[in-house]
Amino acid sequence: MNKERRIFDTTFILEVVKLIKEQGLSVSQVCTDLSIGETAVRRWVKQVEAEQLGISGIGKPLTVEQQRIRQLELENRQLKSDNDS
């Protein structure tokens, strides 16, 4: 039996993390209530915590600040490349 992989948008992920961090719900409870796996949720929490400390997490940035940083880094690389040409 092969389960189809679910894709979650950034807004949903941040809301899940908010339930855990700000409302004090347990990872297990949130996962049960929303029918999602604990591994993914624990990874999301870890990534948001890292991003709040200014550390680029792995994968797609979740917080607005990290998204902007990633965008600026890309623009910076592009400009440097254009100047070298």
Banded model confidence at residue 26, pLDDT cuts 50, 70, 90: very high
Q: Is the pTM of this model over 0.85?
A: no
Is the alpha carbon torsion for 11, 17, 20, 22 positive or negative? negative
Domains delineated in the chain: 10-84 (1.10.10)
How wide is the angle at C-alpha 44 spanned by C-alphas 40 and 50, nearest 5°? Answer: 145
Contact 56, 48 (CB under 8 A): no
pLDDT value, residue 85: 77
pLDDT tens for 35-51 read 999 999 999 999 888 88
- Tell me the C-alpha distance between 12 and 19, whole Å: 11
